[in-house]
């Protein structure tokens, strides 16, 4: 690899000092580097205003930065190297102090490639009876209550058959990569990112028995918003990888299945997912290395 696109989260590298050092290091060692900066409040994503060829994306930020880069630059189909300027960093494998040695390894093509499963969602509004939005997620597709609405009713189908009806704050449809995100905080299972499956996890269900369910990556999931109270249209919102969402009312449906696209991640260290998991969880609980 010689041609690098540097995508920086300006909240994490405020004065862009690391971005500048990385850019200078790449150029001084015979490579080329182009930087793009994400907007501070996240309202403006990562976009290129000219056509260039790159070998990979260096994402300087945290896991959220990688998700945004994966989303905004998906059409480029470039592998991503995550440099962790955030907190836990399950996706961002490289720590700031490792970045220059990692660039040397990228120059030498000393790395492996991982492909991460994506999921695709299609939103159908009952009033229009047609797909009004399609999108792809690396982490998860989340349907939650909107604003001050109370618990919502969600009927979940798998391959055309009813799986369950949830009265809850919402439901998370997660990829293996997303199992360490919102899914984890909602009590869902952790799974290896190399697997191919989907996880359905209710959020604060009004039930003693509702649990997460792990499904095949070949299954088709449909989530329908139900009308629970006569005096109120159920208000919900669906978002993809935490991005601004689409409002839903009773009768609206979201069809979710495996996407034909994948996110390619550069793997540089011979460390298993389980070692990373143990270290990150230990840091989050106790503030000490695992």
Same domain, 132 and 255: yes
CB proximity list for 108: less than 8 A, separation 6 or greater: none
Same domain, 248 and 125: yes
Structure-token pair, residue 194? 């190399």
Same domain, 182 and 251: yes
CB atoms within 10 A of CB 233: 14
Written as one string, the DSSP assignment of 105-172 is HHHTT--EEEEEEEEEEEEEETTTTEEEEEEEESSEEEEEE-TT---EEEEEEETTEEEEEEEESEEE
CATH of the domain at 240: 2.60.200.30
Active-site amino acid positions: 63
Domain that includes residue 206, residue range: 118-261
Same domain, 41 and 93: yes
Same domain, 147 and 239: yes
Same domain, 175 and 65: no
Q: Are 159 and 220 in contact (CB under 8 A)?
A: yes
Same domain, 89 and 138: no
Same domain, 124 and 240: yes
Q: What is the pTM of this model?
A: 0.89
Same domain, 32 and 153: no
pLDDT tens, the chain, 290 aa long: 999 999 999 888 888 999 999 999 999 999 999 998 876 455 557 777 666 789 999 999 988 899 999 999 988 889 999 999 977 678 888 999 999 999 999 999 999 999 999 999 999 998 777 899 999 999 999 999 987 667 899 999 999 999 999 999 999 999 999 999 999 999 999 999 989 999 999 999 988 778 999 999 999 999 999 987 655 666 899 999 988 889 999 999 999 999 999 999 999 988 777 777 777 666 655 554 43
Q: Helix 99-107 and helix 17-28: axis angle, to 10°? A: 30
Which helix (H) or strand (E) segment holds residue 19: the answer is: helix 17-28
CATH of the domain at 106: 3.40.50.10330
| Tally of domains within the chain | 2
Same domain, 107 and 179: no
Structure-token pair, residue 202? 């209710």
Same domain, 93 and 200: no
Nearest to 60 by CA among 105, 92, 31, 21: 92
Same domain, 134 and 222: yes
Q: How far apart are CA 14 and CA 205, in angstroms?
A: 40
Handedness of CA 209, 216, 89, 60 (dihedral sign): negative
């Amino acid at each position: 690899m010689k041609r690098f696109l540097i995508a920086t989260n300006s909240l994490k590298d405020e004065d862009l000092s690391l971005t500048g050092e990385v850019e200078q290091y790449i150029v001084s060692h015979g490579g080329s580097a182009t930087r793009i900066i994400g907007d501070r409040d996240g309202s403006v994503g990562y976009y290129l205003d000219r056509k260039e060829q790159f070998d990979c994306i260096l994402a300087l930020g945290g896991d959220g930065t990688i998700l945004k880069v994966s989303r905004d630059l998906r059409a480029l189909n470039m592998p991503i190297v995550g440099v962790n300027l955030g907190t836990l960093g399950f996706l961002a494998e490289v720590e700031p102090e490792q970045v220059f040695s990692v660039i040397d390894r990228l120059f030498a093509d000393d790395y492996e490639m991982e492909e991460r499963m994506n999921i695709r969602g299609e939103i159908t509004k009952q009033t229009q009876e047609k797909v009004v939005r399609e999108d792809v997620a690396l982490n998860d597709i989340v349907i939650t209550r909107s604003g001050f609405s109370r618990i919502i009713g969600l009927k979940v189908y798998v391959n055309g058959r009813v799986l369950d009806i949830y009265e809850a704050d919402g439901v998370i449809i997660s990829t293996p990569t997303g199992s360490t995100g919102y899914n984890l905080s909602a009590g869902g299972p952790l799974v290896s990112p190399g697997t191919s499956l989907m996880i359905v996890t209710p959020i604060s269900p009004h039930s003693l028995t509702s649990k997460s369910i792990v499904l095949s990556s070949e299954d088709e999931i449909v989530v329908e918003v139900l009308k629970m109270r006569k005096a109120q249209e159920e208000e919900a919102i669906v978002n993809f990888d935490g991005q601004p969402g689409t409002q839903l009312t009773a009768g609206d449906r979201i069809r979710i299945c495996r996407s034909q696209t994948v996110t390619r991640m550069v793997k540089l260290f011979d460390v298993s997912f389980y070692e990373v998991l143990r270290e990150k969880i230990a840091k989050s609980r106790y503030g000490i290395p695992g």
